[in-house]
Amino acid sequence: MSGVLSTPLTPSYRSSAAPYREARFGHASGVLRPHRAPLNRGIRRTAECPCAVRLYHMTGQDIAARSEYCSVVLGAPSVGISQGVQPGAPSPPPGGQAVAAAGAGPSLASTAGASAAERPIAVQLAWADTTVWEVASTALRAVRSKVDAAYKSDRKRAARQANGHITSPASATPSRRQQGAEEDDNDSEDGEEEAPYSTPLPRYQVELLTGTVSPEGRASVLPLCMVNCRQVVYGHSALLPVRRGDCVDYNTALYELPYNLGDPVFVTCTRTR
């Protein structure tokens, strides 16, 4: 036996480079690469069960109304913001609203039951790495038609008020005013149809909030983040997120926010343009 070890053969990297090149640049060789999340956070969606997150739509910017709506959904009394914003109003006793509803008759009780049975606008299947843009886009798809209708109605109302303050004389008859308003609406609609590319594409702002119940049993609303998006192609309803310095990144995962996965999410959708 010889005590000298044989010199190992020089490894050949020619055979191993081709598979790596095909895997790294698979789009050039026609090999399809599997779709991956924007960031690899270690969540295996094929092996982990998602949570059904209920999405509820809120309208308006009134904090007291938001708190009351959150208390209805969570089934817990509100923190009492309405009493805080009205310092002169006497504070009702605890449970006074329930006693009043019980003594008002079956009509008010049925109305309270209908409001308590408010249904969510959508249900989002969410994992821990689900992004805020996924949740915002799901909510916006559910209420986009209502948001667009409200935006157009506000614009028409503002245009009528502007025309009324500037052009309508004090001696004009109501029928003349109504006829002029209808002509202005028809002219604006015709202008939008004739030159669709001259109008700016719509932009939306979606605010995500969650509801929490304190150890004392009081429900309150907690803001999570704000997501902005816009339409980029005329005649196509697809939306893309917009990066802004005053908002979180749209790839932010739910576990990066002060949110417990599975809790209901409240959304406010507004069209800004």
Domain extents for the chain?
48-76+118-159+199-272
Give 240-247's long-range contacts (Cβ < 8 A, gap of 24+): 241/133, 241/136, 242/203
Cβ–Cβ under 8 Å, residues 247 and 221 = no
pTM of model > 0.85 = no
Q: How many CB atoms sit inside 10 A of residue 92's CB? A: 13
* CATH architecture entry for 48-76+118-159+199-272: Roll (3.10)
Handedness of CA 272, 268, 234, 131 (dihedral sign): positive
Tens digits of pLDDT across the chain (273 residues):
555 555 555 544 454 444 444 444 444 444 444 444 455 566 777 788 889 999 999 988 888 888 899 999 988 888 876 444 444 444 444 444 443 444 444 444 444 444 544 789 999 999 988 999 999 999 999 999 999 999 988 888 888 888 876 554 554 455 555 555 555 555 444 444 445 566 788 999 999 999 988 888 888 899 999 999 998 888 888 899 988 777 788 889 999 999 999 899 999 999 998
